[in-house]
């Protein structure tokens, strides 16, 4: 099996946020941005079926969302999946920012970039709450992994 943990192309969380901001600015409307986010989700590494269980489920999400983590050389790497295509894209977006970072960098990277991108406002209330819950979960994992 291939490595299920996302290895982002950018070396830092801030560079990932800047790249995502640039990517999304290429589109004039939210329908095109949603398509781009859905495409990000389709490019996630394959998530193992045996991890799609209650132990890996992220609470607070309307859709089913699962995440797993591993520590390698002092950095946390995350794997994630969802049963909804747009939510898989949101998982991919978060993992691009937070996966492959040290716990300290994760904790120093506030999820306010989601609001700055206009993403929280553009999503339904439930989806906005869900991505906020996913970001909180990543921050909690970083806090206990220091």
61 is catalytic: yes
Closest by CA to 69, choosing from 58, 77, 81, 80, is 77
In the 8-state DSSP scheme, what is residue 45? P
Give the HSE-up count for residue 70: Cα atoms under 13 Å, Cβ half-sphere: 9
Cβ-contact 146, 134 below 8 angstroms: no
Rounded CA-CA distance 38/3 in Å is 21
Write the CA distances from 93 to 2, 16, 26, 112, 128, integer angstroms. 20, 9, 16, 13, 13
List beta partners, residue 110: none
Rounded CA-CA distance 139/11 in Å is 19
Catalytic option among 13, 37, 44, 61: 61
Instruction: Please give the positions annotated as active site.
Output: 61
């Amino acid at each position: 099996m291939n490595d299920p943990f996302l290895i982002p192309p950018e070396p830092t969380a801030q560079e990932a946020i800047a790249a995502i901001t640039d990517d999304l600015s290429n589109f004039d409307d939210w329908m095109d941005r949603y398509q781009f986010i859905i495409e990000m989700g389709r490019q996630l590494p394959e998530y193992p079926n045996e991890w799609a269980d209650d132990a890996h489920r992220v609470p607070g999400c309307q859709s089913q969302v699962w995440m797993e983590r591993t520590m390698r050389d002092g950095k946390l790497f995350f794997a994630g999946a969802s049963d909804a295509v747009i939510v898989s894209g949101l998982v991919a977006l978060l993992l691009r920012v937070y996966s492959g970072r040290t716990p300290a960098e994760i904790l120093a990277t506030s999820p306010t970039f989601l609001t700055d991108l206009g993403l929280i406002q553009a999503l339904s209330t439930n989806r906005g709450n869900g991505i906020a819950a996913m970001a909180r979960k990543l921050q909690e994992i970083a806090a206990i992994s220091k």
